[in-house]
Amino acid sequence: MKPLESGPLQRFLEAELSAGNRVVEDSLAQWGELKRVIILGSPFLSRGRVDEGSLSFREINDPHYWKAEVEDSHTKELVACGFGNS
């Protein structure tokens, strides 16, 4: 998998993977303004820092999309987490 451009978001993703979460989708296609979306199968597991730099955390809780997300507003990349039933 290609690393994210955002250092803080890449560190967050690595913490999630180390905690046992797994990538279920990695999209390089445009999602509105987003350049890249990575979706994890389970709710966020790590205590990775989401208050670093340009990262923002949001609870979405929409079963059509995902449970929560962390976005880097500078690089327009996003890591989202599922509900754990995928």
The answer to whether position 86 is within a domain reads no
> In this predicted structure, what is the pLDDT of residue 69?
96
Distance between CA atoms of residues 65 and 42, nearest Å: 13
Residues contacting residue 32 through CB under 8 Å, at least 6 positions apart: none
Domain that holds residue 68: 7-81
pTM (two decimals): 0.91
The partner residues of 71 in beta bridges, in order of sequence, read 56, 78
The answer to whether position 1 is within a domain reads no
- Contact (Cβ atoms closer than 8 angstroms) between residue 28 and residue 65: no
The answer to whether position 55 is within a domain reads yes
pLDDT in tens, 64-86: 999 999 999 999 999 999 999 64
SS3 for 52?
coil
pLDDT in tens, 11-57: 999 999 999 999 999 998 777 899 999 999 999 998 777 777 789 99
- Total domains, the chain: 1
Nearest by Cα to 66 from 45, 86, 50, 36: 86
